[in-house]
Amino acid sequence: MSEESYVLIRGMGDGQSIRLDFKRTMQKGRIMDFSINLCLIEEERNTEIYRIDTEHGYIHEHKFWKSKEPTKINQGYNECFIQKEKEIMENYKRWTMLFKKKRMEWTR
């Protein structure tokens, strides 16, 4: 088995940055497990905005601006990782804004 991982840091244009973490374990060209995380970098900590992983033996997704509860996804690991990698790259700015807006509502 081999593990692949990479991290991307992106500026949000408002002085804040986000961190994207991608990790997958491969065996014979197939993904055996994976995780993708989107975090807002705040001072010296990362605040999770989005996560999808296979930690519990199945794919589950957390959209923290919507709910604290995960959503189970019934899809193959390879197909899901490719799809979600693309989806997060296209949507991380919007998801970050949705999270920030929702967090402001929580603090009222």
- Residue in this structure with the two tokens 């804004």, named with its chain if needed: 97
pLDDT of residue 88 exceeding 90, the answer is yes
pLDDT of residue 107 exceeding 80, the answer is no
pLDDT of residue 103 exceeding 80, the answer is yes
Distance CA 69, CA 79 (A): 23
Domain boundaries, the chain: 2-106
Considering the entire predicted model, what is its pTM?
0.91
The pLDDT score that the predictor gives to residue 108 is 67
pLDDT of residue 65 exceeding 80, the answer is yes
The pLDDT score that the predictor gives to residue 81 is 97
The pLDDT score that the predictor gives to residue 104 is 84
- Which of left, alpha, beta for 28 (phi over 0: left; psi -120 to 50: alpha)? left
Per-residue pLDDT reduced to its tens digit, 1-60: 899 999 999 998 888 899 999 999 999 999 999 999 999 998 888 999 999 999 989 999
DSSP lists the bridge partners of residue 60 as 53, 72
